[in-house]
Amino acid sequence: MRYIHSMEIRQFAEQVLFGTRWEDKLVALDRYEDHAPGAGIETPNAPGRPPGLGLDEWHHREKLRFRDVRHFHSEKERGLVLHFFANHELLALELMALALLKFPQAPEKFRRGLVQTLKDEQEHVRLYQRRMQAIGVNFGEIPVGDFFWKAIGPMETPMDFVTGLSLTLEQANLDYARHYAQIYRQLDDPETAAILERIYRDEIGHVKHGLTWFRRWQEAGLSEWEAYRRALRFPLGPARAKGIGFNRAGRLKAGLSAGYIDELELFSQSRGRCPAVYWFNANCEGQVALGRPGVTPPQRVAELEADFQALPMLLCARDDVVLLREKPSPVFLRRMQELGFAIPEFVECSADGLAALAERKVNALRPWGWSPDSTKLLAPLVAGLPRGGEGPCWSAAIRSLWAKSWSAARLGEFLAAQEADYLCGADVVGTAGATIDQALAQIERLAEAGFDAVVVKAIYGSAGRGQIHCRGNRVRAEQRGWLENILQQQGQVVVEPWLDKVVDLSLHFDVGAEGAAVAGWTRFLTAGRGQYRGSFVGSLTAGLDEEVKRFLYGDGRDARRLPRLGEQLAEWLAEPLCAAGYQGPVGVDAMVYRDGRKLRLKPIVEINPRTTMGRVALKLQQAVNSARTALWLVLSRGEVAAAGFAGLAECAAALEGTHSAWMMPDGKQLSGGVLFTTDPAQARSFATVLLVGESLAECEGYLREAGLVLK
């Protein structure tokens, strides 16, 4: 190590940045002056490096990845892990030298603080070098990475530097240094553990130095978190500011605010995998019916969109993105994270949020349903899709797939090709009518065939809305007026018998270029007017009598009746769906009903070419112990008020407080209790809740104790 008594900061930084000998890189400086800072330089392609450590070495030497050695399978790997850490420290000190040379007019206190930080980094490299040599590893033995240099080297301002290095890469070391100190202690290597503890303490000071200047330079009027997000430059993101584990105490010591730390702890963003982008547009049916953007949703749908805006997080991988207006509360997200749920990245559904997202690559666009509004909203992101990525699925042909007349026609065709006596007959297939006279004739025909009640459905409209019920052939004056109005707006209605329903089912599959992939069946519950009420998670037959169970699964040659039917249906429907240009999730509602004394199954009640609540319930199966019964329900403001609660948040506090959700000993699946799966603190009208118990009776008991009744 070469000692220099006094040197200009510029000369010191040039020697560190461009030097190709260790005595240049690690020159020890006692005193420094800043009388001749000179002019700012451009970022060089790479820093100078001693032999074997060039940033382009990996082009002609076999590359070794950190994940290949981090499991410490051998003594050698203990040293190679330190090799990766040492290169990070070397890159950090070179970037500090670069900042001193690029920004000679930065405040003197900032530059002097940066010199001191650089000297700390030099000592870190020395410590790593000595320890590697003791273990038997030479610095330069394996090619080194250049990500730090590529990510931070193009910095344009001192703010870019402190945001990228101090508050991102050095902040992550608050996690890594502490984590690996513990690992080396477990490996009975106290010398290396002590080095990492020393580096951890220094990193707290380095983050604090960067934070001091960040706060001085940050955009006025923004929170610390918002300012940090805006100041970051691609390819860095907040996820890079976290390592293994999350060291809250170290961040507090560095001076980061509690609010910032909360946001960062729960933040998720892809660090390599291109994300899928989700958006909950509950009003997609209304948009499809209109055929263009701009329809004002009914009040209930608007309330659902507001309260369930984060619902797609239940479908997401950790690297995915959910578009929303308001991020769920930290308390809610932390609880979901503790119970094993992935927390995706949340992006504001605004012009600015979409513009920032449009600068990144995404692998799929996944609104709740493709419709005119989702196609328009997500249009800026289409350019970022790779070839073969999941893009917009909207056209006149796809619009026709949403029509209940299309579903009825597919049911008729499917039944004509089947010989199974457990399926419904052609007499219950809906018939489309384009005029008042045609609709009335169909109602009359069904009455004559012995059906006591008839339902008339608008061809575009979701369950519980856009339909009327008639007794026999009687159509009241107000119902006739509704018919005239719907026919004028949509051109058709579907008339079908009202059946004695026993069980609601839904089949879920995905349609792609290569056909259909079945995800599975779910059983769901509806309210009196047909609105979705909830789903059974995992346990399809919970609470059903033996007759219905036997009917669903069959026996003998007809065993596995439901799974086999699902495969047939998915394969049958994939061809016309693909022919129309649709690719994506599909939900097919089905029904078991009683025909006199006989049970029958209507395999297609309606086809939904979109994501459904049943698909979410199917995904929740992964989070629940398969030996348990689980219900996933929608609770409304009205029903919790009837039970004496001031609102959904108060109801959630009571249910979760009395029956807190708990996990299996392996910490992988829920095994009991209550968990609200949308944020009750934000809920105004609706919330979703997952009830897990040993039986259906136990799940219903949770509700009864709170004065709630499952209807």
Mean pLDDT of the chain: 91
First CA to last CA distance, the chain: 79
Unique residue bearing structure tokens 């979760």: 656
Q: What is the structure's pLDDT at 513?
A: 83
Partnered with residue 31 across adjacent β-strands are: 6
- pLDDT of 127 reads 97
Reported as type and span, the H/E element at residue 549 is helix 546-553
Percent of the chain residues topping a pLDDT of 90:
75
- Give residue for tokens 């104790």: 705
Long-range CB pairs of 432-435 (<8 Å, 24+ gap) are: 432/405, 432/408, 432/459, 432/492, 432/493, 432/494, 432/495, 433/492, 433/493, 433/494, 433/495, 434/487, 434/491, 434/492, 435/487
> Which domains, ranges and CATH numbers included, belong to the chain?
41-266 (1.20.910), 276-390 (no CATH), 401-497 (3.30.1490.20), 499-611 (3.30.470.20), 624-711 (3.30.1370)
446: left (phi over 0), alpha (psi -120 to 50) or beta: alpha
**Average pLDDT for residues 71-81, to the nearest whole number?**
80
Q: Which single residue is written with the structure tokens 């190679």? A: 80
- According to the model, what pLDDT value does residue 4 have? 66
Give the whole-angstrom CA distance, residue 539 versus residue 522. 9
Q: What is the pLDDT of residue 73?
A: 67
Rg of the chain (C-alpha set): 31
pLDDT digits (tens, 9 = 90+) for 106-162: 999 999 999 999 999 999 999 999 999 999 999 988 888 888 999 999 999 999 999
Q: Distance of CA 136 to CAs 23, 50, 62, 83, Å?
A: 22, 19, 20, 11
Answer whether residue 35 shows pLDDT above 80.
yes
CA angle 433, 439, 441 (to 5 degrees): 120
Q: Around Cβ 526, how many Cβ atoms within 10 Å? A: 15
Q: What is the pLDDT of residue 60?
A: 62
Picking from 523, 518, 490, the residue whose alpha carbon sits closest to that of residue 506 is 523
Contact indicator for 64, 80 with CB cutoff of 8 Å: yes
Greater model confidence, 482 or 666:
482
Q: What are the tokens at 358?
A: 């449009």
Q: Which two tokens stand for residue 503?
A: 């069980």
Q: Please state the pTM of the whole predicted model.
A: 0.77
- pLDDT level of residue 270 (50, 70, 90 thresholds): low
pLDDT per position as a tens digit, 680-702: 999 999 999 999 999 999 999 99
